[in-house]
Amino acid sequence: MDHKHLRVALNDGHSIPVLGFGTSIPSKLPKSKALEATKLAIDAGFRHFDCAYCYQNEEEVGLAIRSKIADGIVKREEIFYTSKPGENLLPKDDHGKLLCDTVDLCDTWAAMEKCKDAGLAKSIGVSNFNRRQLEMILNKPGLKYKPVCNQVECHPYLNQRKLLDFCKSKDIVLVAYSALGTSRDKLWVDASSPVLLEDPVLCALAKKHQRSSAQIALRYQLQRGVVVLAHSVTEKRIRENMQVFEFQLTSEDMKSLDGLNRNFRYNTADYFDGHPSHPFSDEY
């Protein structure tokens, strides 16, 4: 890991900043919040931005990045921008059941490889893949490019140890979303789920290191070799999240955080129930 530039190498020769900024915002907030938060994140030092078509705010995020480039604050080559293609926003039938395509994942990956060859993407990866699905891609006849990363939910309550070990063995970077729990948007998360950042162990470590619980949760992932996404629309918290390189957790701290694992998912992806490629039925 290159601590000077805070990046980690990918298996295709490119590199990714180890700390990223998640651009999804709660549905109750206006899209302009994404523009504002992205500008604040760039000013704070973030250079890795995680986006998706389904967030419905890529235009705002793009405008924020372009404005900071125009202002001379950042250069385009310094920005690692992740998008997730797909223009159908979870279409459902009259009974509310998800309408599923039956496109083979390997065929989809072959199309992604063509996108890379065409210069439409510098690096290509996957999200929410389990081990079995990763092996399908890795064992695909004629595979040209391995996924550089697998972005999954990962936090002390779901530390993904087995999946992380597998990804490391295949030179695939694990990227953690919902690393701070979630924004508790009712569209995605059960409102009765536990609040990660209020966990007594996290709070005790935050007090010990004179940091926030969020900083402890982010630092935990960095020390495990996980690229981690931080998410906030508040300037103070955005700046705090960039300060995770200013301290270290001890081995005992890490063991305490490992002990919080309960294989608990905030994003259960119930909206994908019935999809032939639903990833969460496997152990990992």
Alpha carbons 271 and 220: distance in angstroms, whole number? 30
Alpha carbons 213 and 204: distance in angstroms, whole number? 9
Residues 6+ apart with CB under 8 A from 186: none
Alpha carbons 176 and 153: distance in angstroms, whole number? 6
Could you say which of 3.20.20.100, 3.90.245.10, 1.10.10.10, 3.40.50.10470 is the CATH number of the domain covering 7-88+149-265?
3.20.20.100
Alpha carbons 203 and 233: distance in angstroms, whole number? 22
Per-residue pLDDT tens over the stretch 2-52: 444 689 999 999 999 999 999 998 888 899 999 999 999 999 999 999 999
What's 41's DSSP letter? H
Alpha carbons 184 and 164: distance in angstroms, whole number? 25
Q: Average of pLDDT values for 104-127? A: 96
Q: How confident is the model at residue 184 (pLDDT cuts 50, 70, 90)?
A: low
Label residue 79 exposed, middle or buried (CB < 10 Å: 0-12, 13-18, 19+): middle
Q: What's the pLDDT at 187? A: 65
Residues 6+ apart with CB under 8 A from 250: none
Per-residue pLDDT tens over the stretch 197-219: 999 999 999 999 999 999 999 99
What's 122's DSSP letter? S
Catalytic residue numbers, as ranges: 55
Written as six digits, the tokens of 191 are 């409102």
